[in-house]
C-alpha cells in the first residue's frame, strides 16, 4: 500500500504540473495568435475547429470507457488486454472515418455555403478546414494510446507529452510570425504537427513499453457493445450537464441581460480552474480503483475511497477558501472592472465545486464497477429538476443569484445519490459512509471558515492581505485537517510517508 500511495501522489503531482504549465502556455499562445491572425481570422479558425470537434463529441466518453476497460483487464492480470486494445483501435479507426466523411460532406457544405466570411476568404477557409480535420484525426487517434498509458498509471509520460504538445503549439506560433504567407492557412497547417508528433510519441511508447499489448485480429460484439453502452451512458450524463448549463444561460439572458450572463461566464471559468484539481486527482486514482475492483478487493477499496474523498475535498477547499474570501480583490486585478454579479457568482460556484469534489472519488468507484446506467439516469433526472426550480424563482421575482444559490444545494443532495450507488454496487453501508465522509469535512470547513472570516476582517483589502490570507489559511487548514479531518490510521499513514521521505533525503 505505501508504494501505491507514493505512486498516486506522484501521479497527482505530474497531472497538477501538467495542468498549471498548460494553462500558462495556452494563455500566452492565445494572446500571440490573436495578435497575428486578427479578430476575424481567429474567430473563423475557432468556428471551423468547433464544427469538427462537435462531430467528434463522443471522444471524451470513449476515452474514459477505454481507460476503465483497460484498467479492469490489467487488474485481472488476464490475457485479454491485447484483444480489447485491438478492438478499441479498430473502433476508433471506424469512427474517425465516419467523422472525416461527415466533415467532408456536412461540415464542408456549411463552411462553403453557410458560413459568413469576408469576400475573397473562401478558399483560405476551406484549406484551413482540411488542416483542422487532419489535426483532429491525429488527436482523436491518440485517445486509445493515452487511455492505455493512464491505465498503466504512467502519468509522467502522459503529462510530459501533453506539455510538449502545448509548447510545440507555441513554437509553431512563433514560426507563424516569421513566414510571409496567408496567416490563417499557415496557422491551421502548422497546428497539424504538434498533434501528429504527440500521436506518434504515444503510439511508439505504448508499443515499446507494453510488450504484452499487441495488435491482433480479433472482434467480440458482446464485449465491444458493453464498452459502447458504458460510453453512451457517460455521454448521456455529459449532454444533460451541458444542456443544463446552456438552458440556464438562456433563462438568465431572457430574464435579465447579457452582462449577467457574462458574470456567470467568468464564474464558470473560475469553476474550471478549481475543478481541474479534483478532476486530476480522480484521474490519478481511477486506474488503481478499477484494478482493485477487478481483483474483488472491495474491503480494501472502502478505506481508500473514504480517504480519497477527504483528500479530493481538502485540496479544493484549501485552494478555494482564500479565493472565496479574496474574490473581489482577485477579480479587480484580473478584469479591472468586473461585471455586476461576478463576485457573488464566483464565490457561490467555488462552494459548488468544493461540495462536488467531495464525492468525485465515489463516482470513480461507481464507474469502476461498470454499472453506471442507473446512476447516470438518476443523476441526470435530478440535475434536470434544477432548471424548473430556477425558472420558478425567476418568475417569483428573485434575481439571478438565486440560481447560483440553488446549485450548491442540489450538488449537496447529489452526494447522497453517489453514496447510495457506491453502497449498492460495492455492498457498503450507507450510514457508515455518510458519517465517515461528511462529519470530518463539515467540522474542518466550518471552523476554518469562521477563523479565516474573522482574520480577514482585521485587514484592509490589498495584495498584502491576499498573501496573508493564503498563508494563514494554509496553516489553519493543515492543523484542522490533521486534528479533525483524518482519523488515526490516516494520520499515521501521512506521518509515515513524511518520515520516510525525510530519512531518504
What value does the CA radius of gyration of the chain take, rounded to a whole number of Å? Answer: 24
Residues 187, 33: contact at Cβ < 8 Å?
yes
User: What is the domain partition of the chain in residue ranges?
Assistant: 1-219, 234-505
User: Exposed, middle or buried: residue 117 (CB in 10 Å: 0-12, 13-18, 19+)?
Assistant: middle
One DSSP character per residue, 92-131 reads: HHHHHHHHHHHIIIIIHHIIIIIS---TT-HHHHHHHHHH
> What is the Cα–Cα distance from 33 to 215, expressed in whole angstroms?
40
Q: What is the DSSP letter of 371?
A: -
In degrees, rounded to 5, the angle at the alpha carbon of residue 331 between the alpha carbons of residues 326 and 334 is 125
- CA neighbor of 203 nearest in space, from 61, 325, 89, 56: 89
Q: What is residue 358's predicted lDDT score, i.e. its pLDDT?
A: 92
Residues 85, 70: contact at Cβ < 8 Å?
yes
Residues 89, 82: contact at Cβ < 8 Å?
no
Q: What is residue 233's predicted lDDT score, i.e. its pLDDT?
A: 80
Q: What is residue 57's predicted lDDT score, i.e. its pLDDT?
A: 67
Record the pTM.
Answer: 0.80
pLDDT one digit per residue (tens) for the chain, 505 residues: 556 667 777 878 888 888 888 878 877 777 788 788 887 787 777 777 777 776 666 777 788 888 888 888 888 776 788 888 889 999 999 989 998 998 899 888 888 887 777 777 788 888 988 998 999 899 999 999 999 998 888 888 888 998 898 899 888 888 888 888 888 889 889 989 999 999 999 999 999 998 888 888 888 888 888 888 888 887 777 778 777 877 887 787 778 776 787 788 788 878 878 888 888 888 888 888 888 888 888 888 888 899 889 989 999 999 999 999 999 998 888 777 888 888 999 999 999 999 999 988 999 899 888 888 898 899 989 988 998 998 999 889 888 889 889 999 999 999 999 999 999 988 888 898 899 999 999 999 999 999 999 999 888 888 999 999 999 999 999 999 988 888 887 777 666 655 555 555 4
- CA neighbor of 296 nearest in space, from 135, 123, 72: 72
Residues 111, 125: contact at Cβ < 8 Å?
yes
Distances (CA, A) of 203 to 91, 148, 177, 384: 16, 10, 31, 40
Residue located via cell numbers 481511477? 286
Q: Is 77 left (phi over 0), alpha (psi -120 to 50) or beta?
A: left
Q: What is residue 493's predicted lDDT score, i.e. its pLDDT?
A: 67
Distance from the Cα of residue 275 to its chain's centroid: 7
DSSP-derived 3-state class of residue 154: coil
Q: What is residue 97's predicted lDDT score, i.e. its pLDDT?
A: 92
Q: What is residue 474's predicted lDDT score, i.e. its pLDDT?
A: 93
User: Exposed, middle or buried: residue 54 (CB in 10 Å: 0-12, 13-18, 19+)?
Assistant: exposed
Q: What is residue 54's predicted lDDT score, i.e. its pLDDT?
A: 67
Amino acid at each position: 500500500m505505501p508504494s501505491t500511495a507514493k505512486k498516486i501522489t506522484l501521479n497527482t503531482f505530474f497531472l497538477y504540473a501538467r495542468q498549471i504549465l498548460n494553462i500558462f502556455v495556452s494563455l500566452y499562445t492565445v494572446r500571440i495568435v490573436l495578435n497575428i491572425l486578427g479578430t476575424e481570422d481567429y474567430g473563423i479558425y475557432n468556428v471551423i475547429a468547433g464544427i469538427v470537434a462537435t462531430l467528434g463529441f463522443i471522444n471524451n466518453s470513449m476515452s474514459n470507457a477505454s481507460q476503465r476497460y483497460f484498467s479492469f483487464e490489467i487488474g485481472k492480470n488476464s490475457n485479454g488486454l491485447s484483444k480489447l486494445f485491438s478492438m478499441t483501435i479498430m473502433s476508433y479507426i471506424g469512427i474517425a472515418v465516419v467523422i472525416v466523411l461527415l466533415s467532408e460532406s456536412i461540415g464542408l457544405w456549411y463552411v462553403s455555403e453557410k458560413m459568413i466570411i469576408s469576400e475573397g476568404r473562401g478558399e483560405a477557409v476551406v484549406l484551413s478546414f482540411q488542416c483542422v480535420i487532419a489535426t483532429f484525426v491525429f488527436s482523436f487517434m491518440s485517445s486509445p494510446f493515452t487511455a492505455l498509458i493512464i491505465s498503466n498509471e504512467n502519468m509522467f509520460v502522459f503529462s510530459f507529452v501533453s506539455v510538449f504538445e502545448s509548447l510545440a503549439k507555441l513554437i509553431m506560433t512563433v514560426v507563424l510570425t516569421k513566414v510571409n504567407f496567408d496567416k490563417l492557412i499557415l496557422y491551421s497547417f502548422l497546428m497539424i504537427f504538434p498533434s501528429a508528433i504527440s500521436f506518434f510519441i504515444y503510439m511508439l511508447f505504448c508499443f515499446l513499453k507494453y510488450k504484452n499489448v499487441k495488435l491482433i485480429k480479433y472482434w467480440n460484439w458482446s464485449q465491444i457493445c458493453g464498452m459502447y453502452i458504458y460510453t453512451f451512458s457517460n455521454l448521456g450524463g455529459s449532454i444533460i450537464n451541458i444542456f443544463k448549463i446552456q438552458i440556464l444561460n438562456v433563462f438568465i439572458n431572457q430574464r435579465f441581460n447579457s452582462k449577467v450572463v457574462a458574470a456567470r461566464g467568468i464564474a464558470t471559468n473560475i469553476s474550471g480552474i478549481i475543478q481541474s484539481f479534483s478532476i486530476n486527482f480522480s484521474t490519478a486514482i481511477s486506474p488503481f480503483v478499477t484494478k482493485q475492483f477487478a481483483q474483488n478487493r472491495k474491503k480494501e477499496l472502502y478505506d481508500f475511497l473514504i480517504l480519497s474523498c477527504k483528500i479530493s475535498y481538502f485540496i479544493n477547499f484549501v485552494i478555494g477558501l482564500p479565493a472565496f474570501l479574496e474574490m473581489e480583490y482577485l477579480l479587480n486585478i484580473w478584469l479591472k472592472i468586473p461585471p455586476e454579479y461576478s463576485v457573488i457568482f464566483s464565490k457561490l460556484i467555488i462552494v459548488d465545486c468544493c461540495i462536488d469534489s467531495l464525492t468525485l472519488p465515489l463516482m470513480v468507484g461507481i464507474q469502476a464497477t461498470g454499472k453506471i446506467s442507473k446512476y447516470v439516469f438518476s443523476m441526470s433526472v435530478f440535475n434536470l429538476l434544477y432548471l424548473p426550480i430556477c425558472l420558478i424563482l425567476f418568475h417569483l421575482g428573485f434575481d439571478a443569484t438565486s440560481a447560483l444559490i440553488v446549485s450548491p444545494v442540489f450538488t449537496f443532495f447529489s452526494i447522497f445519490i453517489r453514496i447510495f450507488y457506491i453502497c449498492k454496487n460495492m455492498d457498503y453501508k450507507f450510514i457508515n459512509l455518510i458519517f465517515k465522509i461528511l462529519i470530518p469535512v463539515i467540522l474542518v470547513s466550518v471552523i476554518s471558515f469562521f477563523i479565516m472570516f474573522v482574520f480577514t476582517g482585521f485587514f484592509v483589502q490589498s495584495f498584502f492581505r491576499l498573501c496573508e490570507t493564503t498563508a494563514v489559511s494554509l496553516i489553519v487548514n493543515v492543523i484542522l485537517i490533521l486534528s479533525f479531518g483524518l482519523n488515526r490510521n490516516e494520520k499515521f499513514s501521512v506521518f509515515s510517508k513524511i518520515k520516510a521521505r525525510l530519512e531518504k533525503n
